[in-house]
Structure 1
């Protein structure tokens, strides 16, 4: 009887699977490309035009101190990089990619509308500061103005962040062939980088020299056009049904292990594979032996007991019983988390260098001939350095390494090289800032500082440190993505590629915390950075970078040894 029920269930599931596959083949393909990539282009232009110049907007239009503006900026970037994880979970669990991308794009549009209103309506921001006197205090924003500002920042961050990686997943879902998926991913990153770079050069210039209302208005139009294109392509899309969040199975393992924590079993009982649950029906069995011995306390979640049987007398997955595969998946996540967490230190240093570099540029000579370069535009040097370095690594370094050593450069080796270059970039940043401070003191710009004062040093010096940091990112982040994709379980492959976004988001949040701690504990970060010691902040980041490298070296060795032990 039980066999008959399982056969009937299998037949029904097979019919449904065939129907889903037939529906899957009816839609998608390259006809969807302009609609999906058009939405990405609009959001990328908007993200670059808003985020890259946000510190300058807060300082010049909201009368917020430079260090406070840096903290707010880091929180905003933290949101942008944390929300992709939330978007991926919602899409995989129940909503689907189309709904998440559509709703997120609309939320981003609302945020852009609010930003444009703030820039265009004087009552939504404080009166501008007078640059003719350093003694006249600036008008602070009201609570209502702060509320409107934070609402706009939150909506924009939620919309851009929620759709960022979900667009990539949805685009790949439109193709069955892996080479077509790879081509789409290449175009995805090209459009992402070009959209941001376009904003750095054009929209930022408009915001600084023409008007913030026009700059944010262009971002608004770009977002609206992208959303319209995305919705127009709805009838061509291949809509993949959500399969449920893999995090639910992880939670089930934890709950089941807790519920069975008092269960006493002999060593022979725990070693016998016959006592473990591997799945039933059409479940894909990937293991036929007992769970691994590491984190043994989790193994009891897959042990079968009489209480785990259903009414019909068969075993099935529940919050009391999990499969061996689910237990092993959780163990893989636990093993990779220490390695993943070390990357947070990298994100903290990158966030602090990027934010403080914008503040530095505001005090330096930004002229290139007769043209004055916007302060935020200097950050594009890091972006371009990363893009160029990735191209060189992919086309020159990796093939050369393969020919010489007869093996590929591993993700761990790429991460290690990135750590070293990152530390060198921090040293360069500290040396450049020390020189800037020396010239500021020599020119008497420490106590007699005004908002329009300029240190006699070209801001192009900042390109050197930002370019070196970009080179480090070119080794670091692709190496980390490859590592996560290899080490995470199959059920979390899509989430693994978004873990880098979570890493960056936490880094930006914690950089705001670190900045606040430094501000409270030292005199290194006053609003007039000519009175402070930003170079000491960079030296502190250098120490953090060295510690991060040493910790990672130990962690990676531990992980390598553990993998060998598991294989044995």
Structure 2
């Protein structure tokens, strides 16, 4: 008997050691290599796509801007599908792998359409008007963009959560590394985006779109290979069933028992740790007093004792899962307008840059490509992340005692305030740009370069970068930390969904402004000739909306209740206790 116990103990030790060998820092090169290559592919065509649409496909500016924001919105909505499949059925590893392949197909299609002339309208000539792309040429473009949007669904929803999964949050040493991971994940993403908006955009503008899109396509292939190479080293969590089904079961059970009186003692509510084990590996959620109506789903009746039914009876843990999601919703909504503001960098701010003097100096012949102006956003973001991780966090720990320095709610609030300042500055710079155009007498000549340096746009781009370093990383931390453990892919998808909604809000604002600012002769605030427009008014509308949003967020953050998690003991501690008993 003792030999059997000894053999079982040895097997348990081997399994524990095998589990400890997986995950951790050693997996980061594979995950970061995937992220760098994938972002090079994404940003490599997205940053300058408005130039492709207006110069190669001859789309009007407003239509091109709307097309891009709609595509960005769709690409940020599909993560909900990828998250559902990952959490419920296939796991995060396979969701990322398959989605990357779909994305690759879309990139190949887009590159082929840029190389072959039959997929584009003929070039403009001096004696004829520019012919806009035909319906079937646009159809090829939209199918390519749709494939990349579908592929982005699994990648965006799962890569961040999968990377954070490589650290054991029940281990105090590794939990600190989890928050560092978010900073360095975003840093690697920023480096890749920096390469995209400099090298790749320059090639697109000065060499050709075939090569300019071919490089991101090759980068996407590299990302797939690098991610798969780390297969044996990853800590892969098994899917735990549809989270949406569990949430629906809680709602249905609560509605069915709505007439039952609430129990006076919360300890009498239904708890089943064995049933919840697959969805609570790190710890269980404990009862909270908020949203008490949902607690009725966990009241045990005689019928429940005879024949338990998840559509009539839910555990406290599952009820608290739904409560956590509901509590996160107001914070999630606050991030939408920040995205609305930042999307202008890739549309109207880029068009501002196209009209300005893009030389480094009056004697220089090199001109900065308009799509490369976001390099200042990337540089500001990278510098902010580095200073935040290396200087601000250690300093803040002395005062707050928090591992991450400041809470993610404070971090997001700082980002919201800086984003508001960025759009205010953008409006002021547009006033200065138009004054220079008026002084030069070229208000009616949009083809002539306005005698004002493009470096006037640097403050607004840089402020957006600083804001993103605070807001986006804080948002990711918030969703990963506060989401139920079994729904972290879904929570990350909510982050991307806020980007989706923000892009659609941008589209809506452009449409509304076009409609209500229309004047005689078809003029409006956002014409193709920005010199005769009122782009500064558009920026100031966004500034006002962001100010109201900042007040709303401050109220939501003040009254937010953090997820009540009771951590489980680590496997190593349980093994030591078991061996001491043996």
TM-score (norm 2): 0.83
| SS of residue paired to 2:559 | helix
Q: 1:469-510: CA deviations, max 9, x gaps? A: 222222323333344445434444454445332222221122
For the pair 1:343 / 2:339, whether they are aligned, the reply is: no
Q: Structure 1 residues 236, 477: closer, same or farther in 2, change over 3 A?
A: closer
| Residue from 226, 240, 245 that aligns with 1:243 | 240
| Alpha-carbon separation, structure 1, partners of 2:471 and 2:121 | 41
| SS of residue paired to 1:76 | helix
For the pair 1:506 / 2:498, whether they are aligned, the reply is: no
TM alignment of 1:391-402, pairs within 5 A:
391-402=386-397
| Alpha-carbon separation, structure 1, partners of 2:198 and 2:502 | 26
> Which residue of 2 is the match for residue 64 of structure 1?
59
8 Å Cα contact 1:24/1:240 also seen in 2: no
> Which residue of 2 is the match for residue 278 of structure 1?
271
8 Å Cα contact 2:187/2:382 also seen in 1: no
For the pair 1:457 / 2:452, whether they are aligned, the reply is: yes
> Which residue of 2 is the match for residue 296 of structure 1?
292
Q: 1:381-424: CA deviations, max 9, x gaps? A: 11221221122233333444454677753333333332222222
8 Å Cα contact 2:77/2:497 also seen in 1: yes
TM alignment of 1:449-488, pairs within 5 A:
449-450=446-447, 453-488=448-483
> Which residue of 1 is the match for residue 201 of structure 2?
204
Q: 1:425-483: CA deviations, max 9, x gaps? A: 11210110011112223333333333xx2111111111111112222222323333344
> Which residue of 2 is the match for residue 157 of structure 1?
149
**What residue ranges of structure 1 are gaps of 5+ in the alignment?**
1-15
TM alignment of 1:251-270, pairs within 5 A:
251-261=248-258, 264-266=259-261, 270=263
TM alignment of 1:309-388, pairs within 5 A:
309=305, 313=306, 315=308, 318-368=310-360, 369-388=364-383
For the pair 1:543 / 2:549, whether they are aligned, the reply is: no
8 Å Cα contact 1:525/1:534 also seen in 2: yes
Tell me how far 1:103 sits from its aligned partner.
1.3
**What residue ranges of structure 2 are gaps of 5+ in the alignment?**
1-10, 518-523, 565-582
8 Å Cα contact 2:346/2:371 also seen in 1: no
| Alpha-carbon separation, structure 1, partners of 2:341 and 2:182 | 28
Q: Structure 1 residues 400, 351: closer, same or farther in 2, change over 3 A?
A: same
Q: Structure 1 residues 228, 557: closer, same or farther in 2, change over 3 A?
A: closer
> Which residue of 1 is the match for residue 559 of structure 2?
558
8 Å Cα contact 1:43/1:160 also seen in 2: no
Q: Structure 1 residues 302, 415: closer, same or farther in 2, change over 3 A?
A: same
Stretch moving more, 52-61 or 499-508: 499-508
> Which residue of 2 is the match for residue 530 of structure 1?
531
| SS of residue paired to 1:457 | strand
| Residue from 211, 215, 221 that aligns with 1:214 | 211
| Residue from 176, 192, 195 that aligns with 2:189 | 192
Tell me how far 1:295 sits from its aligned partner.
2.4
8 Å Cα contact 2:191/2:378 also seen in 1: no
Q: 1:268-292: CA deviations, max 9, x gaps? A: xx32447532126464598899x54
Stretch moving more, 465-474 or 374-383: 465-474
For the pair 1:424 / 2:425, whether they are aligned, the reply is: no
Q: Structure 1 residues 17, 258: closer, same or farther in 2, change over 3 A?
A: farther
Q: Structure 1 residues 232, 325: closer, same or farther in 2, change over 3 A?
A: closer
| SS of residue paired to 1:525 | coil
Tell me how far 1:163 sits from its aligned partner.
1.2
| SS of residue paired to 2:451 | strand
TM-score (norm 1): 0.85
| Alpha-carbon separation, structure 1, partners of 2:108 and 2:533 | 37
8 Å Cα contact 1:430/1:535 also seen in 2: yes
For the pair 1:137 / 2:129, whether they are aligned, the reply is: yes
RMSD: 3.2
Q: 1:200-235: CA deviations, max 9, x gaps? A: 111110000000001111112222233234445545
Tell me how far 1:378 sits from its aligned partner.
0.3
Stretch moving more, 430-439 or 68-77: 68-77
Q: Structure 1 residues 191, 552: closer, same or farther in 2, change over 3 A?
A: closer
8 Å Cα contact 1:33/1:171 also seen in 2: yes
| Alpha-carbon separation, structure 2, partners of 1:232 and 1:445 | 57
Stretch moving more, 318-327 or 279-288: 279-288
Q: Structure 1 residues 392, 322: closer, same or farther in 2, change over 3 A?
A: same
